[in-house]
Chain A
Amino acid sequence: MGLLSRKVTCNSHGQDSSYFLGWQEYEKNPYHEVNNPQGIIQMGLAENQLSFDLPESWLAKNADAAGFKRDGQSIFKELALFQDYHGLPAFKKALVDFMAEIRGNKVTFDPNHIVLTAGATSANETLMFCLAEQGDAFLLPTPYYPGFDRDLKWRTGVEIVPIQCTSSNRFQITAPALEEAYQQAQRKNLRVKGVLVTNPSNPLGTTMRRDELDLLINFITDKEIHLISDEIYSGTVFSSPGFVSIMEVLKDRSLEQTPVWERVHIVYSLSKDLGLPGFRVGAIYSNDPIVVAAATKMSSFGLVSSQTQYLLSAMLSDKKFTKEYMAKNHKRLQKQQSKLVSGLEKAGIGCLESNAGLFCWVDMRHLLSSNTFEAEMELWKRIVYDVKLNISPGSSCHCSEPGWFRVCFANISEDTLKVAMQRLKSFVDSVAINNQSHQELKNSRKKFRTKWVFRLSFQSFHDREQDER
């Protein structure tokens, strides 16, 4: 009989996953332009490092808010003592206004319905504790963020049942897939308590379409279950189609007075949109006052530091700043993403067309030695150890098809991205040379290239392709 709990000895924390092993390799040999140009380039970290100059210059101009002062008077003591789990009212107001702004002000949020948590990590776990018991399950579309295995399951005892999505329709959620997942849970004797989606998607980098959101609402209405929409990347939507929040769809369908309204919950955080993961600012938004009340009490286990709440309430209340930040940030994300896409394309690699997030969902199926996850792991190891790029293999995101990889672009400079793409191209070229059926490969690459010509805004892609030929 163990001295420690079962949680210590199991590996539901998920850190034996390859997702984290790549990070470890990076840490042993990190790339540096000058000091370590042969090191591993970190492309497995979904961080937004493109826009720090903006909050930094805001700080320079707003000493009062920043330096524990209000109107010149020190409020240090007040902040140091403030541990009310209801959160700083000014911060909650600023946060919900920011969330509304991200959604084009098509929806508004009530500060009394928001619960502050130590990051989205804590928000997701807290919602599980509120909505589900040990042995219950949530359905998640694949591929999904590897951290969910820890956040949703580890200490809660809740299970995840995947909703299988495939490349055949750009990994969108379908009604049959939802139903199949539900049945699968039942076969495993798991009571389904809800669906959790990430919108915009990690790792896909795409926003959910309105018909997908409608489908989800219909499904959870029919099954009388919850829907959690993790909208942590909502502020990173840099091109069309724009972001449609689940709240907007509920509103458009006039569902506010119906039972489903109180079964939809949003998770948010400032880690991706504002690039502040270190500050641990997460939030749960629910239309159900009982969920809000329970989650608020649970937030005691991971409150947001009052000094951080204060700093950000000042920053986010500055509408001029938020407007400028959103506009510039989107532009920079779009620019960097298109550099990644074109760099990949030069290496003969396509990716899922994306309009959001800090990464691309890259298709390397044609580089696999066989259509298996073993081959994917083999390829991944070569990319980490030989090409020296840390990217995340699709299997770590529970993707049902081997050969997909998540590649981040917003945590590195343009120059580093260039180096990464050059390395990748050299690698692919060497594979082509070494491969006996390299002609076959070239042909299949062309086929894939054609396949990757999607309808929307791919004129430039077409042009480049023609130039190459």
Chain B
Amino acid sequence: MVAMSKIATGNGHGENSPYFDGWKAYETNPFHPTERPEGVIQMGLAENQLCFNLIKNWLIKHPEASLCTPQGVNKFKETALFQDYHGMPEFRQAVAKFMGKVRGDRVKFDPDRIVMSGGATGAHEMVAFCLADPGEAFLVPTPYYPGFDRDLKWRTGVELVPVNCESYNNFKITRNALEAAYVKAQEANLRVKGLLITNPSNPLGTILDRDTLKSMVRFINDKNIHLIGDEIYAATVFMEPEFLSISEIIEEEDVECNRDLIHIVYSLSKDMGFPGFRVGIVYSYNDSVVSCARKMSSFGLVSSQTQHLIASMLSDDEFVDNFLTESKVLLFKRHKYFTWSLSQVGIGCLKGNSGLFIWMDLRKLLKEKTFAAEMELWRVIINEVKLNVSPGCSFHCEEPGWFRVCFANMDDHTMKVALLRIRTFVLKNNEAMVPLKLCRPSSLKLSLSRSLSRRMDDFMSPGIMSPHSPLPQSPLVRART
């Protein structure tokens, strides 16, 4: 009996990773405020659910953006027929403009370099197919998004070689680490074709500084390898320092760079909260790659119905400007409350300013400094605390004890329930660090009472923030007053 392919029967899809196990636990018993208040709260899903009201209001005011309304149906036929893999010009122009705005209009993107893909998932696979042959490799700094193992390796036959980053210097990507990874690849007889970075980082929630970016650009030029910048979280930078894109770095005077090596992967799944619409983008400075990727995009074009909607929405400058600002404020508030609440029970996290998650430090709660202990702790968090968080090992983190916890995919109530559960667990286990000095005189209990809610709102208002607060303040928040 003839077998299926090795690709189909192997584990390259990566779904046996613990990253997905937690999801399964959630799916069998999902939290619901009234129907299943003891269910598992999903904190393993990096989704941005904070801005839907803004979008809904825009949709109500713009019925022509949908093909299905009386105002939009006259575009139905031409849209339904449009399968040109170049993509709708108005779609590409709107996306290029949006990408520019996300970078403070410090750079301009050329709509003719915009290539569509089936989400960032499809984009990454497509870039791997374009840049590498089976058996070749990309370097990827750890910790990294678990999906890369599937997206970059599974059907392409490309390998990933980790660039080890550690907590002692906040997981900074050093030139030494890059060189070490390169050597390791060579020793394994793997030809390195590129370096893949995610900036802002998933799972760290941090951005790369100018020096690191420049160092990387020098590195890839020295080795004549590609640099792929996954900037899927670019618009989620809610606090200083400001986001710095590869597209900006290569324009700087003192940077020498072969543009043919530079490629950006983007998507609307995180910045706008539209993962269901499958809007992935490959933006390459290399003409051959653009041309080839465009042909490959046939395997994952963006639905023309969606292109039409997005073109309409992202061409509205006023909406986009407002959205980008609002989104950052909401993310900032959510992040601040979350990290502050955790600190109250002695749980720290990596200082971050972006993304939809925090990189939580539970090293002190491990029985021993091993990944087995991390897994044990993780199972407790899922089964007893009933939170689905993602263990660091699933991100190929070098050190046990780190967990990625998402905060933007739930409403305020659910977040409070989650924080209460964490607090209860930590206090019960008596293993918490001594709580940090409170910035408010009254002791705050994480209860669900209205008074707490009110106090939370007070807390979030800049006027009451103590100058001695351990928490950084967003310039955006200051600007509103």
User: Is residue A6 within 8 Å, beta carbon to beta carbon, of the partner chain?
Assistant: yes
Q: How far is the CA of A277 from the CA of B2 in the complex (A)?
A: 34
CB distance from A260 to the nearest CB of B (A): 10
Residue ID in chain A nearest B127 by CB atoms? A5
With beta carbons under 8 angstroms apart, the residue of A15, A65, A121, A225 that contacts B2 is A225
- State whether A80 touches B278 (Cβ < 8 A): no
Q: Report A-chain residues with C-beta under 8 Å of the C-beta of B1.
A: 224, 259
Interface residues of B in 10-28 (CB under 8 A from A): 13, 15
Q: Report B-chain residues with C-beta under 8 Å of the C-beta of A47.
A: 81
CB distance from B90 to the nearest CB of A (A): 14
- State whether A129 touches B155 (Cβ < 8 A): yes
Q: What sequence of 0s and 1s flags, for each residue 267-283 of chain A, a beta carbon within 8 Å of any chain B beta carbon?
A: 00001000111111000
**One of A305-313, A334-342, A378-386 at the interface:** A305-313
Interface residues of B in 150-185 (CB under 8 A from A): 150-151, 155
With beta carbons under 8 angstroms apart, the residue of B6, B66, B83, B121 that contacts A301 is B121
Residue ID in chain B nearest A76 by CB atoms? B56
User: Is residue A195 within 8 Å, beta carbon to beta carbon, of the partner chain?
Assistant: no
- State whether B118 touches A52 (Cβ < 8 A): no
Residue ID in chain B nearest A119 by CB atoms? B301
User: Is residue A244 within 8 Å, beta carbon to beta carbon, of the partner chain?
Assistant: no
Q: Report A-chain residues with C-beta under 8 Å of the C-beta of B296.
A: 13, 154-155
- State whether A7 touches B305 (Cβ < 8 A): no
User: Is residue A366 within 8 Å, beta carbon to beta carbon, of the partner chain?
Assistant: no
User: Is residue A414 within 8 Å, beta carbon to beta carbon, of the partner chain?
Assistant: no
- State whether A308 touches B303 (Cβ < 8 A): yes
Interface residues of A in 117-149 (CB under 8 A from B): 118-119, 121-122, 125, 129-134, 136
**One of B128-136, B415-423, B447-455 at the interface:** B128-136
CB distance from B450 to the nearest CB of A (A): 26
Q: Report B-chain residues with C-beta under 8 Å of the C-beta of A298.
A: 13, 155
Given known contacts A76-B55, A129-B5, A290-B9, A81 and B276 CB-to-CB distance under 8 angstroms: yes
User: Is residue B281 within 8 Å, beta carbon to beta carbon, of the partner chain?
Assistant: no
Q: Report B-chain residues with C-beta under 8 Å of the C-beta of A226.
A: 2
Residue among A59, A81, A298, A301 facing the most chain B CB atoms (10 A cut-off): A301
Q: Report B-chain residues with C-beta under 8 Å of the C-beta of A79.
A: 276
With beta carbons under 8 angstroms apart, the residue of B77, B277, B292 that contacts A52 is B77
Residue ID in chain B nearest A304 by CB atoms? B303
Residue ID in chain B nearest A1 by CB atoms? B191
With beta carbons under 8 angstroms apart, the residue of B68, B125, B133 that contacts A311 is B68
- State whether A307 touches B305 (Cβ < 8 A): yes
Q: How many A-B contacts at CB < 8 Å in the complex?
A: 221
Q: Report B-chain residues with C-beta under 8 Å of the C-beta of A76.
A: 52, 55-56, 59
Q: Report B-chain residues with C-beta under 8 Å of the C-beta of A125.
A: 299
- State whether A83 touches B305 (Cβ < 8 A): no
Given known contacts A129-B5, A133-B5, A279-B304, A300 and B67 CB-to-CB distance under 8 angstroms: no
User: Is residue A352 within 8 Å, beta carbon to beta carbon, of the partner chain?
Assistant: no
User: Is residue A150 within 8 Å, beta carbon to beta carbon, of the partner chain?
Assistant: yes
User: Is residue A193 within 8 Å, beta carbon to beta carbon, of the partner chain?
Assistant: yes
Q: What sequence of 0s and 1s flags, for each residue 306-341 of chain B, a beta carbon within 8 Å of any chain A beta carbon?
A: 100100000000000000000000000000000000
With beta carbons under 8 angstroms apart, the residue of A3, A13, A55, A297 that contacts B13 is A297
User: Is residue B300 within 8 Å, beta carbon to beta carbon, of the partner chain?
Assistant: yes
User: Is residue B271 within 8 Å, beta carbon to beta carbon, of the partner chain?
Assistant: no
User: Is residue B80 within 8 Å, beta carbon to beta carbon, of the partner chain?
Assistant: yes
- State whether A301 touches B299 (Cβ < 8 A): yes
- State whether A7 touches B129 (Cβ < 8 A): yes
Q: Report A-chain residues with C-beta under 8 Å of the C-beta of B306.
A: 305, 307-308
Q: How far is the CA of A361 from the CA of B280 in the complex (A)?
A: 38
Q: How far is the CA of A81 from the CA of B82 in the complex (A)?
A: 25
Q: Report B-chain residues with C-beta under 8 Å of the C-beta of A308.
A: 303, 305-306
Residue ID in chain A nearest B305 by CB atoms? A308
CB distance from B74 to the nearest CB of A (A): 9
Interface residues of A in 134-193 (CB under 8 A from B): 134, 136, 150, 154-155, 193
- State whether B276 touches A305 (Cβ < 8 A): yes
User: Is residue B227 within 8 Å, beta carbon to beta carbon, of the partner chain?
Assistant: no
CB distance from A148 to the nearest CB of B (A): 12
- State whether B295 touches A15 (Cβ < 8 A): yes
With beta carbons under 8 angstroms apart, the residue of B49, B59, B304 that contacts A68 is B59
Q: How far is the CA of A304 from the CA of B276 in the complex (A)?
A: 8
User: Is residue A327 within 8 Å, beta carbon to beta carbon, of the partner chain?
Assistant: no
- State whether B305 touches A8 (Cβ < 8 A): no
CB distance from A177 to the nearest CB of B (A): 21
Residue among B2, B76, B119 facing the most chain A CB atoms (10 A cut-off): B2
- State whether A155 touches B277 (Cβ < 8 A): no
Q: Report B-chain residues with C-beta under 8 Å of the C-beta of A431.
A: none
- State whether B129 touches A118 (Cβ < 8 A): no
With beta carbons under 8 angstroms apart, the residue of B81, B288, B301 that contacts A8 is B288
Q: What sequence of 0s and 1s flags, for each residue 52-73 of chain A, a beta carbon within 8 Å of any chain B beta carbon?
A: 1001100110010111100000
User: Is residue B399 within 8 Å, beta carbon to beta carbon, of the partner chain?
Assistant: no
Given known contacts A131-B5, A155-B129, A308-B303, A56 and B81 CB-to-CB distance under 8 angstroms: no
User: Is residue B188 within 8 Å, beta carbon to beta carbon, of the partner chain?
Assistant: no
Task: Show 16 residue pairs from A and B whose CB-CB distance is below 8 angstroms, ordered by the A residue.
Answer: A56-B77, A59-B73, A67-B69, A80-B277, A121-B299, A132-B5, A136-B5, A271-B83, A278-B79, A280-B304, A294-B4, A298-B13, A302-B278, A302-B300, A305-B278, A307-B277
Instruction: Kindly list the 4 A-B residue pairs having the minimum CB-CB distance in the complex, ordered from nearest.
Output: A66-B68, A278-B304, A306-B276, A302-B300
Further 14 A-B residue pairs, CB within 8 A, beyond A275-B81, A277-B81: A3-B260, A13-B292, A65-B68, A76-B56, A83-B275, A83-B276, A276-B81, A277-B83, A295-B8, A302-B278, A303-B119, A305-B306, A311-B68, A311-B305
Chain B contacts to A: CB under 8 angstroms? 1-2, 4-9, 13, 15, 47, 49, 52, 55-56, 59, 63, 66-70, 73, 76-77, 79-83, 118-119, 121-122, 125, 129-134, 150-151, 155, 191, 224, 226, 260-261, 269, 273-278, 286, 288-289, 292, 295-296, 298-306, 309
